[in-house]
């Protein structure tokens, strides 16, 4: 297989798997709470339904409101080309490193917040302001945790970091890596709107963040946004799974290795999804004013990760 084909293939795979991941988490959560729950493929049906529905747009909304879903979706799909989903080294490694990935994701968040403000509904503005608060607090943690990884690998390139851990397996248990994993896990929960920062299952509470921003959207716009949100979750899980424990990832582009990579990727995603489902069953949502405390704790983890990598250089 040509290495250049790998990019589109893994983007397509990510698009295909993302709704299933969200469905699987919901299903596992339901089973943990003794509910029967919707089947894991429910999000696919929801997406099909939303794509078929008509779009209702507020009279006050500008072009921004119509453009935002495409920007959010586009930037998230672009990220899937840069993340080591199946194989290292990536053909698009030269196009962007970990910093580009993080800021592409943030670009989507930024436009979503703008779109939340655009129609002038009170909920949208509230959600946008909260989302920006959380993003601004999660940002330094993410940057520091990346710095810790980059320091020990000697490169901010995602493929290099994964390859480095593959080459020296003890690296995976180095204190810097373990702490960076914990920090990025907390950031994942915050950025993808999971408990304890945001409750993904509610459309009613005054405390909602992500859902408040997208409240005005309907039809195919909503479908794109939901799909992008699922994709973002998948990207963060892939970063956690393939940067910190890259075993199973294909080093050569043979059909057998790629198939094995797909299998291990699915297992890693399910395992991380199980952890998230367990966490969400176990804990309650934090009050909004205590979210900064959680995020500064994760910032401290990231800071210690950098210092540990620095000490062991």
Partner 1 sequence: MSPELVSQLSVGGSTLVLLAGLAMLWRRGVRAHIGAFTAQSVALAATTAMVGWFTGDWQLWAVAALLLLIKGVGIPILLERMARRFGTERELEPYVNTATSLLVGGLLVLLAYLVTARLVSVSQLPTRTGMPLAMGLVFVSLFVIISRKKALTQVLGFLMLENAVALLAVLGTHGIPIIVEIGVFLDVALGFIVMQVFVYQIHETFESIDVEQLNRLRE
Instruction: Write down the least CB distance from residue 313 to partner 1, Å.
Output: 10
Strand partners, 87: 250
Instruction: Write down the least CB distance from residue 130 to partner 1, Å.
Output: 16
Instruction: Write down the least CB distance from residue 310 to partner 1, Å.
Output: 8
Nearer to partner 1, 217 or 299 (CB): 299
Q: Which two tokens stand for residue 285?
A: 């949502």
Residue 158 and residue 31: Cα distance in Å, rounded?
35
Instruction: Write down the least CB distance from residue 312 to partner 1, Å.
Output: 6
Query: CA nearest 183: which of 70, 268, 308, 269?
Result: 308
Nearer to partner 1, 132 or 178 (CB): 178
Q: Which two tokens stand for residue 31?
A: 């089973």
Nearer to partner 1, 205 or 293 (CB): 293
Which residues neighbour 74 within 8 Å (Cβ) at sequence distance 6 or greater?
none
Nearer to partner 1, 73 or 151 (CB): 151
One-character DSSP codes across 178-226 = HHHHHHHHHHHHHHTT-TTT--TT-SS-TT-SHHHHTTT--HHHHHHHH
Q: Which two tokens stand for residue 42?
A: 């429910």
Task: Please report, as ranges, the residues that interact with partner 1 according to CB under 8 A.
Answer: 170, 174-175, 178-179, 292-293, 296-297, 299-301, 303-304, 307-308, 311-312
Residue 79 and residue 77: Cα distance in Å, rounded?
5
Nearer to partner 1, 185 or 299 (CB): 299
Which residues neighbour 181 within 8 Å (Cβ) at sequence distance 6 or greater?
240, 244
Residue 117 and residue 84: Cα distance in Å, rounded?
34
Instruction: Write down the least CB distance from residue 290 to partner 1, Å.
Output: 8
Nearer to partner 1, 152 or 156 (CB): 152
Instruction: Write down the least CB distance from residue 188 to partner 1, Å.
Output: 19
């Amino acid at each position: 297989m040509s290495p250049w084909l790998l990019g589109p293939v893994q983007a397509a795979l990510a698009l295909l798997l993302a709704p299933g991941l969200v469905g699987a988490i919901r299903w596992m959560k339901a089973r943990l709470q003794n509910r029967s729950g919707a089947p894991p493929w429910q999000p696919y049906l929801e997406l099909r339904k939303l794509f078929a529905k008509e779009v209702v747009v507020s009279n006050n909304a500008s072009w921004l409101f119509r453009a935002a879903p495409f920007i959010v979706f586009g930037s998230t799909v672009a990220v899937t080309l840069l993340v080591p989903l199946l194989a290292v080294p990536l053909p698009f490694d030269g196009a962007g490193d970990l910093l580009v990935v993080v800021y592409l994701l943030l670009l989507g968040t930024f436009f979503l917040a703008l779109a939340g403000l655009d129609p002038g509904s009170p909920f949208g503005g509230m959600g946008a302001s909260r989302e920006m608060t959380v993003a601004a607090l999660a940002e330094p943690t993410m940057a520091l945790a990346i710095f810790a990884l980059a320091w020990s690998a000697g490169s901010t390139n995602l493929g290099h970091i994964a390859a480095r851990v593959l080459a020296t397996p003890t690296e995976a248990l180095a204190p810097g890596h373990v702490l960076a994993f914990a920090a990025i896990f907390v950031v994942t929960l915050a950025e993808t709107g999971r408990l304890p920062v945001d409750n993904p299952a509610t459309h009613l509470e005054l405390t909602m963040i992500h859902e408040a921003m997208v409240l005005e959207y309907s039809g195919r716009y909503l479908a794109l946004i939901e799909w992008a949100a699922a994709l973002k979750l998948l990207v963060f899980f892939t970063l956690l799974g393939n940067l910190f424990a890259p075993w199973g990832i294909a080093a050569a582009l043979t059909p057998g290795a790629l198939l094995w990579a797909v299998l291990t990727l699915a297992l890693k995603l399910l395992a991380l999804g199980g952890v998230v489902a367990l966490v969400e069953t176990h804990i309650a949502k934090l009050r909004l004013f205590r979210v900064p405390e959680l995020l500064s704790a994760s910032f401290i983890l990231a800071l210690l990760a950098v210092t540990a990598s620095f000490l062991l250089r």
